[in-house]
Every structure is written in structure tokens, then in C-alpha cells.
Amino acid sequence: MAGFPKIIRSLPEADHPFRDIALWLLRGPTASLIFVEASADSVVPEHSHGAQWGVVVSGDLVLTIGGKTRTYHAGEEYFIPAGVPHAAKLRAGVRVIDFFDDPNRYRPKAHGPG
């Protein structure tokens, strides 16, 4: 499958500062989930937040978690404990699903009038 299906792409897009990355957002009262798709090689600089669990759906994702770097491939999952610094390199075409223990980790994009 090339890209997430329409049922995912119909979710609200998340507001974020990253280049060449699309995020679709699903939020609940205690947690949130994003569907991530990179259209080109992209970098997410080091940062930290609450706990995060993820799985690579397709492609490759390079994660540095707490100073240790590893490449994750389709079907592999990862866990980032709360407060641990981490960074990512997304290769073009990678698709990832990330779960956060924070319902407000990302917010929907604001859409202007019209």
C-alpha cells in the first residue's frame, strides 16, 4: 500500500513544525495517536515529552533514544519513556503510528476562513 488509506487521511491533520512530514491526529481523553508519513527525508530534532510507543508500518526510521541510535524497519516497535531525550530521521516514504500518553501532544491544524 502506498500511503495511508482514506480513512486515516480523513482524520484532522496535526499542527507541527516538521518539513516534508504529514501527521494525522486521533485524540482521546487521556492519550493521542498520530499517523506519520514522510514525503522526503526529514529530521525531527532532539526533544522530550511524555511516554511514547510506536510501530513502523513501512520504510525505515532512525531513532536516537537516550543517546543510543537504531534503525527500525516495518513491523518493529519502540518505546520512549517519559522525559527521555530523543530524535528521529525519517526516510522518504516511511509510515509510522505513534501513541502518546498525552491527549494534547499535538493539536489539530487551524484552518483559516474559506
Is residue 111 domain-resident?
no
Indicate whether 39 belongs to any domain: yes
Rounded to the nearest 5°, which phi and psi values hold at 71? -95, 130
Residue 107 has pLDDT above 70, yes or no: yes
In a domain, 93, yes or no: yes
Residue 51, in any domain of the structure: yes
Residue 1 binned pLDDT confidence (cut-offs 50, 70, 90): low
pLDDT confidence band for 112 (50 / 70 / 90): low
- pLDDT digit string (tens) for 36-81? 999 999 999 999 999 999 999 999 999 999 999 999 999 999 999 9
Identify the domain containing residue 68 by its residue range: 10-100
When divided into structural domains, the chain yields a total of 1
**The pLDDT value given to residue 2:** 78
For position 58, which CATH number holds? 2.60.120.10
pTM greater than 0.95: no
